[in-house]
Amino acid sequence: MTQHDPQNLQARKARLRNSFIAQLPHRVRELRQHLSQLAPGQQDAPHLQEIHRILHTLKGSGATFGVPEVMSTARGAEQSLSRVLDGEAPITSKLLDELAAQLETLERLEFEYAPSLPQERAPEVDLPAQRSGRDIASCRGEHSIYVCDDDPEMAGALAMQLGCFGYRVTPFTSLTRLCQAVTTAPPAAVILDVVFPEGRNAGPDTLVEINRITGQRVPTIFMSNREDFAARLHAVQAGGSAYCTKPVKTVEMVEILDLITDTTPAEPFHILIVDDDPDLAQYHALILEQAGMVTRVLSDPAEVLQQLETFKADLVLIDLYMPRCSGLELAQVLRQVPRHISLPIIYVSSETDAARQFKALAAGADGFLTKPLEPQRLVTEIRLRAERMRTLRSLMVRDSLTGLFNHNTILQLLEIAVAAALRGNTPLSFAMIDIDRFKQVNDGHGHNIGDQVLMALGRSLRLRMRESDVVGRYGGEEFAVVMLGATAERAQQVLDTLRLNFAEVTFVGAGGQQFHCSFSAGLAALPDFTDAATLQEAADRALYLAKRRGRNRVECAPIASATPPR
């Protein structure tokens, strides 16, 4: 995450405060214009709504930017309007006199704060429309792993197995050589036996020494024939990340390695801020950006639906009181659109009346934050709700077992990729993959072991395919891959390498029985087939051909073949 300069933060906040103060004369003129249109005896006057909105904004912004006199004056005027706004009383001469007096107070405050402004008004902060996400290179398949076991066959076999999942593994049989290697070229993780000729707990003792020498905690997975509590406790006290008993299950080991070596920063949350007060909107954007989020600011609610087409917001932060379209009305509009039904909506307002807050929440919002907002609370509230949204969105588009895109999503992404490839005149390949004789695995070893095989192939696909490729679980034991920019020849080479590696993975079934699996794949590519539907049908035909020709192979779709019976 980018480190932000606190002094720069304070400077930007000061500029926003100056901008707010400089806008006071304009706001007061607006209030006077609307006040001049009111007369005693009126009720539910549109000008009264505008006066309330402006006062509400001044109250929240005054509190946020540290101008308490403006905040308290605006709050007093807003409270004077409460009975009229609730339809409980008409506009009276007394009310109009009170509002006029409070406007005079605001005008006096204009002149009191004016000397604190710079000679030239500070320019408004120009927030980017969308800050680009962090440019992070993929580390998949590049993690260096050290394996140390005094049994050379064990160390070598585990190194080979993990290599099939894309890790670069170096085996060691000596604790001394392991220490030298770690201090010279630190790995992403260490897999270390517990028992060595040096002692029953020589592995954990060595890790303590390694961490002391390097001055940092090296992620370590212990493996051992020992299952006793004392061995596990010693491993924990030494700083171990996990503990696996022998015989080591490769799939289990890979799951742990994936977890402890994943250093990819999470994609920053995208927050859409809708507020007719540009200074306050920019201040909230500033706070969220300092916390590593990406923001987009809008002052016109009518632009929200269009912006959401390109800005994939995790959450929308909406001011409650805006002209022409209130926050409540905007929330109702968003809830009319099926794809935005679950989009988190948070109101931000200085409204403290519980009944009005409840009415606003009933429109379909998820929370209500009261101005002034303490920065840490704003960040925490937004992060919690955005994280929930991201989790729900992931559950909707991903397969729960493998974490890959589900059937519907992979087909939608195929259509999008095909359209992009045709526009750019670039190659694209689509592959259907099926695990050979998978029913025998489930029947012979049970569905739990079958799930391990599915997870292993899913993980192999994630590790071996490029970042730009799209991988999904098509259904059952079938997977699908969209390979952007890959010709049929290149795609076949990649899939063949993956097929050979997967066939080397050893699975442990019922009663400790070891077995291997293979897969068959069918491949179709642009421009031989010209749309998503024909690509899918052609890849399915090629998969059938691979099965018919003996399985454990990759076949390219014949261009003019007919669909055979299955």
Domain boundaries, the chain: 6-116, 144-261, 270-397, 407-556
Tokens of 89: 């009383």
Helix, strand, or coil here: 141? coil
Helix, strand, or coil here: 472? strand
**pLDDT confidence of 125, banded at 50, 70, 90?**
very low
Pick the CATH number of 407-556 from 3.40.50.1820, 3.30.70.270, 3.50.50.60, 3.60.15.10: 3.30.70.270
Percent of the chain with pLDDT over 70: 86
The secondary element (H helix, E strand) that includes residue 28 is helix 24-35
pLDDT digits 0-9 by tens, 69-96: 877 887 777 777 776 777 777 778 887 8
- pLDDT at residue 111, as a whole number: 63
| Region 406-432 average pLDDT | 90
**pLDDT confidence of 394, banded at 50, 70, 90?**
low
Do 144-261 and 270-397 share a fold?
yes
- pLDDT at residue 140, as a whole number: 37
What is this structure's pTM? 0.49
Bond into 527 cis (ω within 30):
yes
pLDDT digits 0-9 by tens, 194-242: 999 999 999 999 999 999 998 999 999 999 999 899 999 999 999 999 9
Residues β-bridged to residue 398: 405
| Region 33-39 average pLDDT | 79
Bond into 247 cis (ω within 30):
yes
Better-predicted residue by pLDDT, 389 or 540: 540
pLDDT score of 13 more than 70: no
Q: Are the beta carbons of 210 and 180 closer than 8 angstroms?
A: no
| Region 510-524 average pLDDT | 89
pLDDT score of 126 more than 60: no
Pick the CATH number of 270-397 from 3.40.50.2300, 3.90.280.10, 3.40.50.300, 3.30.750.24: 3.40.50.2300
| Region 373-385 average pLDDT | 85
CATH class belonging to 6-116: mainly alpha
404: region left, alpha or beta (phi > 0 left; psi from -120 to 50 alpha): beta
Q: Which of 3-12, 79-88, 175-184, 300-309 has the lowest mean pLDDT?
A: 3-12
**pLDDT confidence of 541, banded at 50, 70, 90?**
very high
Short-list 60, 67, 63, 68, CA closest to 21: 67
Report d(CA 175, CA 251) in Å as an integer.
25
Q: Which of 69-83, 278-292, 430-444 has the highest mean pLDDT?
A: 430-444
- pLDDT at residue 132, as a whole number: 29
Q: What share of the chain is helix, strand, coil (3-state, %, to 5)?
A: 50, 15, 35
Query: What CATH number belongs to 144-261?
Result: 3.40.50.2300
Better-predicted residue by pLDDT, 124 or 241: 241
